[in-house]
Structure 1
Amino acid sequence: MADTPHEIEQSVPLFWPMAAVLGWQEAGYQAMADGLRFVQEAAEISAPPEPDWASPNEVLLDLDTMRLRDFGGSGTGLPVIIDAPYAGHSATIADFAPGQSLVATLLAAGLGRVLVTDWKSAGPEMRDFDIDKYLAEINVAIDEVGGRAILVGLCQGGWMSAMVAARFPSKVAALVLAGSPIDTDAGDGPIRRMAHETPLSAYRDMVASHHGRMSGSLMLTGWKNMHAEKQYLGKFLDLYAHIEDRNYIERTETFERWYENPLDLPGRYYLQAIDLLFKQNLFAKGEFLGLGRRLSLKDVTCPAYLLAGDSDDITTREQVFAAEDLLGTPKTQIRKLLAKGGHIGLFMGRHTLADVWPGIAQWIAEQGGK
């Protein structure tokens, strides 16, 4: 390969001053170009467009609380409804990106039909929606797909799925609880501490400040402050360090589209969750009133699969695995697995989807989902 002018100049001592200047200029131009790209990308990830679904789907139902999205499937088994988290972010976490899609993983395993609860951001008209409203519409979704389904509850979607299984046992053939806080007093995570240490009046004030809704942006700020150094400095340093890595940039943009577009929650639903579930832990105690009945986890007798993350600081493993003793399901029909990684990774992490969820999909198939 022929030497470039810069290399020739460096090979002749007489020309070293010119080579040094030229090198400085090239470095300066590159730094300027990198700096401009960094500014553009930093602005992009700070205020990105809304997230997209990675897989083709159609809206089967458009209800007050959600759009029930149908991703199809190739079999004739029981439908599998992924009850997505409703805690301030989009349900697209279940179908995040190619290679990072729980939906695609379940479909690839041959499950008959996969659907997702696409929860809506709360508008002013939704401020008085309560937990009962959400349970009732999950029940409507099950009826729409034949009256019996397998529920896969992710995070907060887990306790909602468990409530539906307790209220309508014959409608839930099997239950997967992934990163789901079933016993909110178990373990010692930061969410548990915040729920107990922050007075309910503070949560009420936050809801009142947003006219009866819990602001997604306010919640997002709280999550970021749990990892302030990473969120406010580290991720931007990483972005600059990888500014010429297009794959890294694309992955970052995809994540930030999900992360930086929070959902508002109905104030009544949110305050019920904080007070009745996270402060009083009524569901685990068998004292939560749902759709006119006292709900007991002992009424959940279907096969269950419990999945927790070993470094999950949102839902500790103890909060998930406590379900083993609380459910009415025989222990011989309960499976438990502790996966490597944190909270979000349980639902969209590449390694978890490749190494853990295919086994769960096989278990779902054995319960009638194929």
Structure 2
Amino acid sequence: MNARQPAGSGLAPAQDAPASPSPFPDLSAISAYAAHPLAQAAWEYGVDAWQRSILFLDILRRRGNETAEHERGGMPPVLVFEHEVLMDGRDMPKPVNYALLRIVPPDANPTDPDKRPFVVMDPRAGHGPGIGGFKEDSEIGNAIRGGHPCYFITFFRDPCPGQTIEDVARLEASFLSAVAERHPNAPGKPFVVGNCQAGWALLILAAAAPDVTGPILLAGAPVAYWSGVRGKNPMRYSGGLLGGSWLSSLAADMGNGRFDGAWLVQNFEKLNPANALWEKLYNVYAKADTEGPRFLEFERWWGGHFLMNREEIDWIVQNLFVGNHLTAGEIHSTDGQTLIDLRNVRSPVIVFASWGDNITPPQQALNWIPDLYANVDEIVANQQTIVYCLHPSIGHLGIFVSASVANREHTELFCALDLIDVLPPGLYEAKIEDVAPGTSHRDLIEGRYLVRFERRTIDDILALDDGREDERPFEVVRRVAEINQHLYDTYASPFVRAAATEVTAEAIRETHPARMERKLASDTNPLMAWVGALAPMVREHRQPVSADNPFLAMQTAMSDQIVSMLNQYRDVRDAWQEQWFESLYATPWLPAMLGMETTVRRAESPAILALRAEVAELRKREALAHMGDGTSLDAFTRILAYVTQGKSAIEERPFNLLRKLAREHPPEKRVTLAQFKDAVWRQNYVVSLDADAALQALPALVPDMKERRRVMVLAHRVLTVGGPLDDDWLARYRQVAAVLGADHSSPATRDAEAGAAADSAT
């Protein structure tokens, strides 16, 4: 601070400061009045805080205006990519408020129609569509940069009268069939991404119509709704504490037959009151100069609330959230002809979850696997491939909107998609790691990271949970919910529906707090007019506070204290809810009062179990009977399966080498991805049944000695991409060479021994 003493009376500085066109006081002139550095710091902070307040209010005003504009425009998807409508479900014989969009690739990233098409499905869970592609670094952006044709399944704000979840699934199946027809030369069926609530919808679709999808990715998708960890996942208790599903039915009846998605959004926000009530807006206030664009971009999607028919929300809550019928195989089509059995899924399933997700924790994303299969042998027998990838910390929305996740997990999984498609049936965990210095064959690594798939067991999935005994009380919740729903439907619903009109329903929707906070801050509120007029002047004459200002530090400390208090409130609330839930549903008196003999989940029909066992045995006998039949491709894949039997990981470099070698052949002689996949699956199954018999049958597959040597050399080349063979693999490789009649001096055997020697030397 300038230490000059003011001249004359102590009320005026010695020299008049030059006139400033700014409407705000000049800090350099005011500083002459100050008698202490703290006073100057206070003034500096006060001017900055006042200016930030104006900028903050202006950002909220713009948010309200953009929300109103978005609603007037029909609430289109918030995609940043140009797109065109290919099919509109509202024009179908059975109208449904969904449509299929083709993403028009930018000139800088043309797509190849012969590559596998990608289809992204966004959740209809209160918000509108577009989160899978509302920025360049996104699921859609990564697909386009990879040269894949990309499509998007969107939906509109208002559901068509009478539409059901089954109608939606049937229409989505026709969308995927149309996409496949547009790309007849693609190496496989469309790869489909289901985000959040779209994940369970995609899984149901893949089970009901297994021929329309290629690999499917379930991103942050809840499937096992009762699962979670005690003390960490309180959202699963909501259904029991609210008495079941009747409240959603009441809300839909009051909405004149339509449920307002704003209530779902509000429930999500209640999970983290510190963020909803303070952090989100404080972050905008604290960074008012730079945070506006990012905040407005996200809020355009977050503030768009969509509707569902009562039939839809009832089906979702009663069958999934509260009933948890999906993994039990208790969901049927309306006509009773189709049973939704998730074992019918034929496509590889990729599950992406995060430990930082408090809406869909890893247990809810993965526990459907042990619900369906007792062990990995059952997964293999059912010819199912399941891959899961766990992020250590990202939150639920970060799974879809985080650029870091899009550029790492999504990109690498997309790059490894063809490898995932040909993985032998089983359970795998995807590991995405930085490429270590000195890694061999880096040219065979497609992305920025090395991807490998480590074999896992059902016990590995169960180890992610703290036990499943805490799911028993939810059986009681389901029964209570059924009773309350019946009482509501019988005695209350008729009166609520009779009293509701579209006028009252719209009034309820318009006065929802999530909509009111935006309207009150928009230009429709005359009290906000001064903000819009003053904000440009503030930006022009901005006087930001210095980073070391003590009052700014006090502001940050106060914010941290508020966040801490709200987090403490959340923890106490969640603990109380868990205790209250257990005091109601985990005690023996309530099941006894309801006439429930046990809280153990109902076992499957003995007839269904016997049928599955018979099918598995028939497939086993057929595979053993044809063990000596096949081609050079079968021999090659059997050798790989035999040598690597029991290996814990499969990585991308060997597969990419095979693709590179395949491209060197004339098109008419190339092995297609489908042919390679069939051979890998068939030969891995044969080896798993009887490895010794499979080994002894190899000569029948390749009678010609010259072809045998060619297959052995190719196998050795692939097996050593990651480094020389270890002792176990080398011994198995020599067994193969002996059975095929390749002597010890064959090129393949010499190469293998040399590699082993080099490995030992290092």
Superposition TM-score, scaled by structure 1 size = 0.87
**1:358 match:** 411
Q: For 1:293-348, what per-residue CA distance to the aligned partner results, in whole angstroms no more than 9, with x for missing partners?
A: 01101111221111101111111101111243437864883211101311111111
Match of 1:282 among 325, 328, 352: 325
Equivalent residue, structure 1, for 2:152: 116
Q: Secondary structure at the match of 2:417?
A: helix
- The reply to whether residue 89 of structure 1 matches residue 127 of structure 2 is yes
Q: Which amino acid aligns with 2:238?
A: M
User: Structure 1 residues 33, 321: CA separation in 2 closer, same or farther (over 3 Å shift)?
Assistant: same
Residues 200-225 of structure 1 show CA distances to partners (whole Å, capped at 9, x for unaligned) of 22121111111111112222222222
- The 1-side partners of 2:144 and 2:333 are apart by 32
Conserved in 2, the CA contact under 8 Å of 1:55 and 1:95? yes
Query: Larger deviation: 360-369 or 186-195?
Result: 360-369
Matched residue, 2:241: 197
Of 321, 340, 358, 1:313 maps to 358
Change (3 A) 1:30 1:277: closer
The DSSP-based 3-state class of the residue aligned with 1:169 is: coil
SS in 1 for 2:151: strand
Contact 2:78 2:129 in 1 (8 A): no
Give ranges in structure 1 of 5+ residues lacking alignment: 1-6
Distance across 1 between alignment mates of 2:333 and 2:191: 20
| Unaligned 5+ runs, structure 2 | 14-30, 35-39, 71-76, 90-95, 105-110, 182-188, 422-672, 675-762
Match for 2:408: what amino acid?
D
Match of 1:249 in 2: 292
Secondary structure of the equivalent of 1:252? helix
Structure 1 residues 142 and 335: CA distance shift in structure 2, 3 A:
same
Q: Structure with the greater relative contact order (CA < 8 A, sep ≥ 6): 1 or 2? A: 1
Question: Equivalences for 1:112-151 in 2 at 5 Å?
Answer: 112-123=148-159, 125-126=160-161, 128-146=162-180, 148-151=189-192
1:93-104 map, 5 Å: 93-99=131-137, 101-104=138-141
- CA distance in 1 between partners of 2:170 and 2:65 (Å): 34
Q: Is the 8 A contact 1:303 1:329 kept in 2?
A: no
Task: Please report how far the alpha carbon of residue 30 of structure 1 lies from its aligned counterpart in structure 2 after TM superposition.
Answer: 4.2
Distance 1:77 1:274, change over 3 A: same
Is 2:346–2:384's contact at 8 Å kept on the other side of the alignment?
A: no
Distance 1:69 1:191, change over 3 A: farther
More strand by share: 1
Per-residue displacement from partner, 1:230-258 (whole Å, max 9, x unpaired)? Answer: 2122222222111122xx21101111111
Matches of 1:347 and 1:25, distance apart in 2: 43
- CA RMSD across the alignment: 2.6
Amino-acid identity (%) = 19
Q: Which is higher, the Rg of structure 1 or of structure 2?
A: 2
- DSSP-derived class of the 1:283 partner: coil
Question: 1:332–1:165: structure 2 CA closer, same or farther, 3 Å change rule?
Answer: closer
In structure 1, what residue type is equivalent to 2:97?
T
* Secondary structure at the counterpart of residue 134 of structure 2: strand
**Partner in structure 2 of residue 44 of structure 1:** 62
Q: Which residue of 1 aligns with 2:194?
A: 153
1:337 maps to what in 2?
389
The equivalent of 2:98 in structure 1 is 66
CA drift of 1:89 comes to 1.1
The 3 A distance-change label for structure 1 pair 153 and 234 is same
Matched, 1:174 2:219: no
Alpha-carbon offset, residue 46 of structure 1 = 5.1
In 2, distance between residues paired with 1:302 and 1:28?
61
Q: Give the 3-state SS of the residue equivalent to 1:284 in structure 2.
A: coil
Equivalent position SS for 2:313: helix
* Preserved contact between residue 126 and residue 263 of structure 2 (Cα < 8 Å): no
Give 1:362 shift.
1.5
Q: 1:332 to 1:42 in 2, by over 3 A?
A: same
Q: State the number of aligned residues.
A: 355
The DSSP-based 3-state class of the residue aligned with 1:257 is: helix
Q: What is the rounded CA distance, in whole Å, between the counterparts of 1:141 and 1:310 in structure 2?
A: 33
- Measured at CA, do residues 30 and 106 of structure 1 come closer, stay the same or move farther in structure 2, by a change above 3 Å? same
